Structure 1
């Protein structure tokens, strides 16, 4: 019976541990330092780095999904709002021309601008997540309330 309970406990905490770990990393007081510290106590010496890497890889994957969703939403919203308004034309130059059939046709500049938005130049630059994780943790003085 104890073995069954232990299997269920490990199965439950195996999945919940990832969620709790990710929440801990997103807390500016703890970030990865608390995981590094705790995982050394919880797991064996060879399993702790694996678990830490799992949390970090999952965070990076979720962040990449968020960035992609944001990029797609902005490309869609910017392309749906390119109705040739004067303020946009003055800011970015003429980007749309009207054909004799009354349809909007993108000029070379508009096509290039959309290409630039679609290309991921940020890949070589540190992501906000990497920058966040590299910053020192936020320390709270005793007796001071912390509201994340």
Structure 2
């Protein structure tokens, strides 16, 4: 999985920005499964050492370039709810809300910059809600992870992760206030 991800991250003949977040979702989930799963202790120990290295470079969202998340948000298939959803799967509610707010602030800064440059500054949606409305419980996450364990190819895993997110959207009842940025 690291080899395939490295190939996708380092591609020079095609755009790679749109796959970073999706690859992080996949790596994070697979490492968590291997570290927390029952089975071969040698494999589990190896996965735990890999997770330490992963956490050093990619585990702290605070140290990542926010443009990696902005690239997902401006993709019409995902938007900000997608990023917030996965933050909630990885972190506690307060940390997930804080990270969602950081991504939203980066979007607002970009919007203001381009709006001022084009002379079309409208409300940037600064007052829009930054917190999510619906969360899965830990048993739901465990169920989702067990459903994902049978898939081996990256494309199949990404389709499955996207289906999990689509199910989350279908279950969500709250509609956020929309601004021009939204």
TM beyond 0.5: no
Decide which structure has the larger Cα Rg and report it: 1
If the length of structure 1 is used for normalisation, what is the TM-score?
0.43
Kindly indicate whether structure 1 or structure 2 has the higher relative contact order, using CA contacts under 8 Å at least 6 residues apart: 1
